Amino acid sequence: MTELRIATSHPLPEPDPDEPLLLAALEARGIAARRVAWDDGREDWARPQAATLLRSTWDYLHRPEAFASWIGSLRGPVANPADVLLENLHKRYLLALRERGVPTVPTSLVLRDEPIDTLPFDGALVVKPAVSAASFRTARFSREQHLEAITFARALATERDVLIQPYLEAVEHSGERALVWIDGEVTHAVRKSPRLSGEKESVALVPVADDERALATKALAPYASRLLYARVDVVRDAHGSPVVMELELLEPSLFLAQHPPALTRFADAIDRWLRASSA
């Protein structure tokens, strides 16, 4: 059987509750996975006999170019597929989703070093990096704080591409919902507490609403047959319709502890993937 590496980061910026569960479920299937930090130069990433499953590579946002070239250097089987990972690195994919007719949070992309003189939305808004995770440098500004928002966005844009979005208040009420998708189907959803820079996240299992499931399925449709795992984060807009906040095809937390059947489904899918890869 193909050898399996689980790509992580060292040190982990925050604990990964999925990891011990997944390692145990794989071991129960006779799969001895090795955890390796994606930037560990001692590992021979180009070895075609070794499969790589991305999980907690959460420090990549500080070195996106190095991370992209690492993805490009992988020669064995990779999950999710390398081209999907590369496309998902930068949140310009939100603009592409919108063009495809998938409802998304309205998003304005400011490229690094582009001047910012005005803001694209009235009212409260959020400014955040276009390559990001864990709410890194993500800030909310009220309608009265637009000057501060411009100052913050300009500072961020000296270093990175920046996204500006209207602030969707539903994150405080119905909440942002992370729909977990494993091997072809939405398995469960959790409600995530609002999280701006420096805040901790808490999650709770919630039922999946039909309109949310339909949105996630539409967002994932072009990739679905090629993915092992995905997460679609949705929030309701001012009209109450779900919109995509984030499509996570790289290294999403899958909240497996909240729904054990998803763990079983994931471990079984990995097992089948490895067998198919070594066949």
Ligand X SMILES: Nc1ncnc2c1ncn2[C@@H]1O[C@H](COP(=O)(O)OP(=O)(O)O)[C@@H](O)[C@H]1O
Judged by the rule CB under 6 A, the positions of this chain that interact with ligand X are 105, 126, 128, 132-136, 138, 165, 167-168, 171, 176, 192, 194-196, 233, 245-246
Query: Please, which residue, 212 or 246, has the CB nearer to Mg ion?
Result: 246
190-249: contacts with Mg ion (CB under 5 A): 246
Identify what 55 binds: ligand X, Mg ion, none; CB under 5 to 8 Å per kind. none
Q: Among residues 40 and 169, whose Cβ is nearest to ligand X?
A: 169
Residue 135 touches which member of Mg ion, ligand X, none, C-beta under 5-8 Å by kind: ligand X
Contact (Cβ atoms closer than 8 angstroms) between residue 189 and residue 206: yes
Tokens 């339909």, located at residue: 214
| DSSP β-bridge partners for residue 4 | 51
Beta carbons of 135 and 192 less than 8 angstroms apart: no
* Helix pair angle (260-278, 18-28), 10° resolution: 50
Nearest to 110 by CA among 155, 152, 165, 162: 162
Q: Which does 162 bind (CB under 5 to 8 A by kind): ligand X, Mg ion, none?
A: none
Spatial separation of the C-alpha atoms in residues 29 and 73, rounded to whole Å: 28
User: What tokens appear for 217 in the block?
Assistant: 């399925």
Nearer to ligand X, 246 or 271 (CB): 246
- Interface with Mg ion, residue 251, by CB under 5 A: no
Instruction: Check: CB of residue 256 under 8 Å from CB of residue 263.
Output: yes
Minimum Å gap between C-beta 9 and ligand X is: 15
Which 3 state secondary structure label does DSSP give 245?
strand
Least distance from ligand X to the Cβ atom of residue 126, Å: 4
- Smallest separation, CB 12 to ligand X (Å): 16
| Residue 78 interacts with, from Mg ion, ligand X, none (CB under 5-8 Å by kind) | none
Cβ proximity to ligand X: between 79 and 125 the closer is 125
Residue with smaller CB distance to ligand X, 16 or 246:
246
Q: Exposed (0-12), middle (13-18) or buried (19+): which is 98, by Cβ within 10 Å?
A: middle
Catalog residues that contact Mg ion under the rule CB under 5 A.
246
